[in-house]
C-alpha cells in the first residue's frame, strides 16, 4: 500500500472498483483511491518504502451510492455491507464502538468483510462499510524495515551454520536471477491470486484478535524481550557499531477500556429476560451468578495452613498493585497518598491477619514468613514501607530469628530478605538495636539450644547478626555519650561478649558463611574481649570467611 | 514477517511451493495460493505424494482447499534442492501397489501382536477404535 502522493497517481482507465463516498471532503481522495486501486491491480510490486500516510479524521456518516452504473460494475471481490453509523453497526457486529472506531481508523479499504450484520434496514442495495479512508500501509504495524539479511525477524533463531548457509544462498541467488526455471514462468501466471488487499484483510483480522487494553500484561514476554533487544541495540550503537540496526516490532492495536454492554435486556413488567446475542455472549439468557458456598470444616492444621496460604495470595495481589502503581507513576521516591494508604493497609494485613491477641499477631507474621512466598512478599514490600513500620518488621524478624531459621531449613530462601532488611538496619537506633538483640538472646522455654548457636549456623542468621553488631559498633563509635557507663552500655558489652564467646565455641565447620563481612567486627571484639579469645575468634572467623 | 514482526504468519509463504502434511497422514505438495485467518489453505497444482520405503509416487490432484484444522505442518520446498533426493520416483500404479502391500503386512503384524497379547491376558486398545479426544 502506498500513500496517495507520489508516483502512483497517474490517470488510468476508469475501471471502477467500487462505489465511492459522495461527500465533498472525500471526493478527491476517493478519486485518487480509485486510481490507486487500478495501479495496484496492475502492478503488485509497489515500493514498500514509501511512508504511510493516514488520514486522521473518521467520517462516520452514512454513505450513499450515487451512480447505478458504478453499482453494476462492482467486482466480485468487493462486497459492501449495509452500513449504518456508529453504535448500530457496532452492536450488530458484536464489537464495542471503541474497537470498531479503531478498525475504521486504521484498517479501512474496500475489502470483503466476513460478517454480515443481519438488520434488514437497508433500502439501497449495496453500501460500503465504513467511511472512505486512505488504504493503510501494512508497515504501519511495524517500525521501518531494516536492511538485515536474511529476511527473518529478530525472533528467528537459527543455528549459526544454518544462518551462514542461508546467507551464502542469498548472496549467490541474487546474481542468478536471469536464469529462470520453467516453474517460475508458470507461477508468474498464477501469482498474486491473493491480492494485496486480501492479504491485508487477513492481517487485519489477525490484528483484531490481538487487541488488548494492557499489552504489557497480556503480551508480557514479547514486550519485555523487545525492550531488552532495543536496549542492546542502543548500547551497540553507542559502542560504535554505527549501523543503525532497527528491529521490527509488532505494534498491536491498543484499545481503551472495552465498553461494558448489556447482554440481557429487561423490559418493564415482563417476567423474563430478552437475550440479545452478541459475539461475546451468544446466548446468555439467564443470570447464572455463582454464590459463595460455605466451606466444609476440615482438619485444623491443614485449614490453618490453607488460610495462611490464601492470605498470602491476597496480600500478594495488593503488593502487585502497589508495584504497578510505582512502575506506572512518575519516578519519584515520595508516594502518592493513595499508594501510601495501600501500603499501610497491606502492612496491617500482614501483621494482624484477623487476630487480636498480640502474641498471635507475631505468630501470624511468622506463619507468613514460614512460607517461601511469604518471604518473597515481605522482601518486596519492605522497600515501600515507611521507616517505623519497616523497623518493627525488622525487630520482629530478629526476635524470632532462631524460629525462622529452623523453619527455613527446607527452603533456604531467607537470603532474599537480607538485602531489604539490611537497608533498614542502618536506620535502627541504639535502643532499638539493643532491644532486638536482647530479645534474640532470650532462651525460649522448653528448648535447650541457645538461640545464637542456631543463628550462627545459618547464613542469613549470621549475616544479619554481623550486620547488627557492625551497626551497633558504628553507633557507639559515632556517639561518645554511649560510651559512658549506663545500663545500655553494659547490656551492649554483655551482648558482644556473649556473641564473641559463642562464635569461638562453634567448630569452624558449622559456622555459616555470611553474605557480607563487616570490617569493624574484629576491632569491636578486640575492645571487649580478652586477647586470647580475640585470636581464637580471628582464626575462626577468617577461616569461615575463606570457606 | 514484514507484515507482522514477531509472529508466525503464512503471508510470506504465498505463491511458494509447500509440502503439507495432513492429519490423516497424506502428504500434499503444491503452491500455496491463498490463506485466511484459520490457516485454511488453497494449494495449486497439487500433487499427493505417497512414500513407501525408498520409493515414492506422485498423484496429480489439481487444486486443493484444505481446512486449517486438518494441517499438521507445512514447510516451504526449496525448488533447487527438490530434485536431489535419494528417493526413487515410480509410477502411480506401482506405488499404490506397494502401499497396499505395506498396509497388509502392517495389519498382519498387528494381528499377530494382538493375538499374542490376548494369549497372555492383555489387551491394548487400537488407536483407530479410540475416540479422538
Q: Which residues of B touch A (CB under 8 A)?
A: 1-7, 9, 11, 14-15, 17, 31, 33-37, 42, 44-45, 79
Q: What is the pLDDT of residue B17?
A: 94
Residues of B in contact with A141 (CB under 8 A): 3-4
Q: What is the pLDDT of residue A368?
A: 82
Q: Do B5 and A194 touch (CB under 8 A)?
A: no
User: Nearest 5 degrees, angle CA A29-CA A35-CA A37?
Assistant: 100
| pLDDT tens-digit map of A96-151 | 555 545 444 444 443 444 444 444 444 444 444 433 433 444 444 444 443 334 45
Res. B38 pLDDT band, cuts 50 70 90: very high
Res. A44 pLDDT band, cuts 50 70 90: very low
The alpha carbon of residue A325 is apart from the nearest alpha carbon of chain B, in Å, by: 29
User: Nearest 5 degrees, angle CA A507-CA A398-CA A426?
Assistant: 105
Q: What is the pLDDT of residue A247?
A: 72
Q: Where are the domains of chain A?
A: 303-385, 386-546
Q: Is the pLDDT of residue A189 over 80?
A: yes
Q: What is the pLDDT of residue B33?
A: 94
Res. A296 pLDDT band, cuts 50 70 90: low
Q: List the end-to-end C-alpha distance of chain A, in Å, as a whole number.
A: 67
The alpha carbon of residue B42 is apart from the nearest alpha carbon of chain A, in Å, by: 10
Rounded to whole angstroms, the Cα distance separating A211 from A98 reads 11
CB neighbours of residue A134 within 10 Å: 19
Three-class SS of residue A387? Answer: helix
Q: Do B34 and A198 touch (CB under 8 A)?
A: yes
Q: Is the pLDDT of residue A41 over 80?
A: no
Q: What is the pLDDT of residue A223?
A: 87
DSSP annotation of B101 reads: H
| pLDDT tens-digit map of A347-364 | 777 766 544 445 555 677
CB neighbours of residue A545 within 10 Å: 11
CA nearest neighbour of A125 among A71, A84, A169: A71
| pTM as predicted | 0.50
Least confident of A71-80, A438-447, B22-31: A71-80
Q: Do A199 and B11 touch (CB under 8 A)?
A: yes
Phi-psi region of A192 (alpha: psi -120 to 50; beta: other; left: phi over 0): left
Three-class SS of residue B56? Answer: strand
Nearest to B4 among A48, A141, A154 (CB): A141
Nearest to A193 among B5, B33, B45 (CB): B33
Residues of B in contact with A219 (CB under 8 A): none
Interface test with B, best of A147, A193, A223, A252 (most B CBs within 10 A): A193
Q: What is the pLDDT of residue A250?
A: 72
Mean confidence (pLDDT) of chain A: 66
Prediction ipTM score: 0.84
Q: Is the pLDDT of residue B74 over 50?
A: yes
Percent of chain A with pLDDT over 90: 1
Structural domains in chain B?
7-120 (2.30.30.100)
Q: Do B2 and A183 touch (CB under 8 A)?
A: no
Q: What is the pLDDT of residue A416?
A: 81
Amino acid at each position: 500500500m502506498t500513500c496517495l502522493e507520489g508516483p502512483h497517481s497517474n490517470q488510468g482507465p476508469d475501471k471502477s472498483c467500487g462505489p465511492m463516498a459522495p461527500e465533498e471532503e472525500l471526493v478527491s481522495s476517493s478519486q485518487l483511491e480509485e486510481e490507486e486501486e487500478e495501479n495496484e491491480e496492475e502492478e503488485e510490486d509497489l515500493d514498500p518504502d514509501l511512508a504511510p500516510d493516514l488520514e486522521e479524521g473518521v467520517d462516520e456518516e452514512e454513505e450513499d451510492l450515487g451512480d447505478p452504473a458504478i453499482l453494476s460494475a462492482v467486482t466480485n471481490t468487493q462486497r459492501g455491507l449495509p452500513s449504518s453509523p456508529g453504535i448500530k453497526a457496532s452492536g450488530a457486529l458484536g464489537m464495542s464502538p471503541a474497537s470498531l472506531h479503531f478498525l475504521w481508523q486504521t484498517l479501512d479499504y474496500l475489502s470483503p468483510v466476513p460478517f454480515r450484520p443481519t438488520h434488514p434496514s437497508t433500502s439501497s442495495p449495496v453500501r460500503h462499510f465504513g467511511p472512505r479512508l486512505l488504504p493503510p500501509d501494512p508497515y504501519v504495524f511495524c517500525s521501518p524495515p531494516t536492511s538485515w539479511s536474511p529476511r527473518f525477524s529478530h525472533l528467528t533463531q537459527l543455528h549459526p551454520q544454518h544462518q551462514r548457509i542461508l546467507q551464502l544462498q542469498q548472496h549467490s541467488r541474487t546474481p542468478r536471477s536471469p536464469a529462470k526455471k520453467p516453474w517460475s514462468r508458470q507461477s508468474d501466471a498464477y501469482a498474486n491470486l491473493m491480492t494485496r488487499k486480501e492479504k491485508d484483510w487477513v492481517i487485519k483480522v489477525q490484528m483484531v484478535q490481538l487487541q488488548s487494553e494492557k499489552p504489557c500484561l497480556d503480551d508480557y514476554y514479547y514486550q519485555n524481550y523487545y525492550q531488552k533487544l532495543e536496549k542492546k541495540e542502543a548500547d551497540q550503537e553507542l559502542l560504535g557499531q554505527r549501523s543503525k540496526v532497527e528491529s521490527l516490532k509488532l505494534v498491536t492495536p491498543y484499545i481503551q477500556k472495552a465498553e461494558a454492554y448489556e447482554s440481557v435486556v429487561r423490559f418493564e413488567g415482563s417476567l423474563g429476560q430478552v437475550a440479545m446475542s452478541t459475539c461475546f455472549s451468544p446466548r446468555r439468557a439467564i443470570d447464572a451468578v455463582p454464590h459463595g458456598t460455605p466451606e466444609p470444616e476440615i482438619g485444623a492444621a491443614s485449614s490453618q495452613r490453607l488460610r495462611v496460604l490464601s492470605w498470602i495470595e491476597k496480600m500478594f495481589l495488593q503488593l502487585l498493585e502497589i508495584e504497578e502503581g510505582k512502575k506506572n507513576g512518575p519516578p519519584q521516591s515520595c508516594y502518592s497518598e493513595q499508594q501510601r494508604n495501600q501500603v499501610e493497609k497491606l502492612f496491617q494485613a500482614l501483621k494482624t491477619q484477623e487476630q487480636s491477641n498480640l502474641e498471635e499477631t507475631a505468630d501470624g507474621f511468622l506463619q507468613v514468613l514460614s512460607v517461601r512466598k511469604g518471604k518473597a512478599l515481605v522482601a518486596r514490600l519492605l522497600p515501600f514501607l515507611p521507616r517505623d513500620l519497616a523497623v518493627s518488621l525488622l525487630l520482629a524478624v530478629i526476635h524470632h530469628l532462631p524460629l525462622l531459621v529452623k523453619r527455613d531449613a527446607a527452603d533456604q530462601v531467607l537470603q532474599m530478605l537480607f538485602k531489604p532488611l539490611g537497608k533498614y538496619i542502618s536506620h535502627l537506633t541504639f535502643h532499638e538495636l539493643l532491644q532486638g538483640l536482647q530479645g534474640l538472646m532470650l532462651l525460649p522455654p522448653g528448648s535447650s539450644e541457645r538461640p545464637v548457636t542456631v543463628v550462627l549456623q545459618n547464613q542469613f542468621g549470621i549475616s544479619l547478626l554481623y550486620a547488627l553488631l557492625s551497626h551497633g559498633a558504628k553507633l557507639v563509635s559515632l556517639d561518645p555519650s554511649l560510651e559512658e557507663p549506663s545500663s545500655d552500655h553494659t547490656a551492649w558489652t554483655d551482648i558482644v561478649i556473649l556473641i564473641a564467646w559463642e562464635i569461638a565455641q562453634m567448630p569452624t565447620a558449622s559456622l555459616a558463611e555470611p553474605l557480607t563481612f563487616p570490617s569493624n567486627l574484629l576491632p569491636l571484639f578486640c575492645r571487649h574481649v580478652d586477647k586470647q579469645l580475640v585470636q581464637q575468634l580471628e582464626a575462626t572467623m577468617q577461616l569461615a570467611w575463606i570457606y | 514477517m514484514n507484515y507482522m514482526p514477531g509472529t508466525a504468519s503464512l503471508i510470506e509463504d504465498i505463491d511458494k511451493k509447500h509440502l503439507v502434511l495432513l492429519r490423516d497422514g497424506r502428504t500434499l505438495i503444491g503452491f500455496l495460493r491463498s490463506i485466511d485467518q484459520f490457516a485454511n489453505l488453497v494449494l495449486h497444482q497439487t500433487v499427493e505424494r505417497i512414500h513407501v520405503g525408498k520409493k515414492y509416487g506422485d498423484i496429480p490432484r489439481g487444486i486443493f482447499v484444505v481446512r486449517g484444522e486438518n494441517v499438521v505442518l507445512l514447510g516451504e520446498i526449496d525448488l533447487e534442492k527438490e530434485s536431489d533426493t535419494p528417493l526413487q520416483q515410480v509410477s502411480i500404479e506401482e506405488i499404490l501397489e506397494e502401499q497396499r502391500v505395506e498396509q497388509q503386512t502392517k495389519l498382519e503384524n498387528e494381528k499377530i501382536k494382538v493375538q499374542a497379547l490376548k494369549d497372555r491376558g492383555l489387551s491394548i486398545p487400537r488407536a483407530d477404535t479410540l475416540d479422538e479426544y
